[in-house]
Amino acid sequence: MPDVKSLLPYSVRNLLRRVKARYNAFHSPMRAYLLCDDIERVVKKLEKVAKHKRLDTSPDREFWFSYTSALLEMGCREKASRVMAWYRDRYGNVDGAASYLRVANLVVECSMAESHELMSAKKAYDLISTIDSRGVMSDFFKGKSVAIVGNGPREQGRGLGAEIDGHDIVVRFNNIDLAGYEQDYGRRTDVWVKHMQKTLRHHLDDPSLKMVVYESDLLRFPLVSGYADAIIKDAEARSIAYCDSAHHAFFTRRYNLYPTSGILLIEMIRHLPVKYLDVYGFSFLDQVKISSYSHYSSRRSVQEKTADIGWHDMNVEASYLRKLFKNGRRLECEPSAN
């Protein structure tokens, strides 16, 4: 018997997926940890869940590693060590710990396990835990003109590539695909913003690339396979930074919104001491249909273009962003004193 959902129109299936994704984002205790700005409150929630989870015969890796990571973030290292030791003894291993940088660091330092993935994750943790992302980005962007270029089809046929490349810094996102689109979207990528999905390639071959910014809090969000090695490789060649959970929490708290990479970076950069900030390629500003939101490239299917939209509310983001425009493409900037 065929799956009932497969009989529904694609637009309906996509809507159901979006509703489910948004529910999980705001009601799962683990998601609450990823997006919170009150770690003590979340740890109390996780502790209540842990009392029931201890009875499970099969491991819930996402829960136990998130819980351990939250304990470590709160400074409860001894308790976190006990939790991981209990988990290892009950389930026979700590497989998957390498996806959580704080947990991987603990597991290696306490000699609970050893593998290439764990050692890479510990090295990535050592790099990330010492980074002052705001300081790194403030120094890099100070006094510079900035073009933030989304992947939407909004600029097709407008011939704005030279204008975009005329900025001091060009910021692009995720699976950039400029070949054949240079006249409209430019050639340079100075800052590459990366999400945490499996569909993203780990490396970008662009000689102009000077900084990589990870759109997730790397010390909280679980990494996909190979991501720790990518972090290490990025750090060897250029500056790196990441969006900590405070930036995500701003949108979840105020708008009940899980933000896209684009809106996160706009919010971060407009509070840096930039010369000015222009925005390109954000097609949801035109209120176009959902299949056109994600990518200008004709080499991507509609399903690929909309694969990650389920987490987001593009209408809310568009409404928020429109209020920031000062003149044409230029956004109002509010450099922070901190």
Q: Distance between CA atoms of 115 and 96, rounded to whole angstroms?
A: 11
Q: What is residue 23's predicted lDDT score, i.e. its pLDDT?
A: 47
Kindly tell me if the per-residue pLDDT of 274 is higher than 60. yes
For the chain, helix (H) and strand (E) counts, in that order, are 15, 8
Please indicate whether residue 45 or residue 2 has the higher confidence score (pLDDT): 45
Annotated domain spans of the chain: 36-128, 133-331
Q: List residues bridging with 241 in a β-sheet.
A: 213
C-alpha dist (Å) from residue 28 to 16, 47, 190: 18, 14, 36
Could you please report the per-residue DSSP string of 165-206? HTSSEEEEESS---TT-HHHH-S--SEEEE---TTS-S----
Residues 54-70: what's their mean pLDDT? 89
- Enumerate the H helices of 177-334 as residue ranges: 182-185, 227-237, 245-255, 261-269, 302-305, 314-322
Integer CA distances (angstroms), 118 to 82, 130, 168, 226, 230, in order: 19, 19, 39, 11, 14
Predicted local confidence at residue 39, as pLDDT: 87
What digits encode the pLDDT tens for the residues 199-222? 666 678 788 999 999 988 999 999
For 289-317, what is each residue's pLDDT tens digit?
A: 444 455 666 555 545 545 555 566 777 88
Helix (H) or strand (E) holding 337: none
Beta strand pairing status for 276-280 and 211-214? unpaired
Nearest of 50, 30, 240, 27 to residue 137 by alpha carbon: 240
CA atoms of 220 and 196, how far apart (whole Å)? 12
Q: Is the dihedral of CA 147, 149, 154, 159 positive or negative?
A: positive
**For range 176-199, the mean pLDDT:** 88
Q: How far apart are CA 336 and CA 338, in angstroms?
A: 5
**CA dist., res. 248 & res. 326, Å (int):** 24
Total-model pTM: 0.82
39-60 burial code (b ≥16 CB/10 A, e <16) = beebbebbeeeeeeeeeeeebe
Alpha carbon distance 215, 260 (integer Å): 9
Instruction: Classify domain 133-331 by CATH number.
Output: 3.90.1480.20
Mean of per-residue pLDDT scores for the chain = 83
pLDDT tens digits, 219-262: 999 998 888 999 999 999 899 999 988 888 888 777 777 788 88
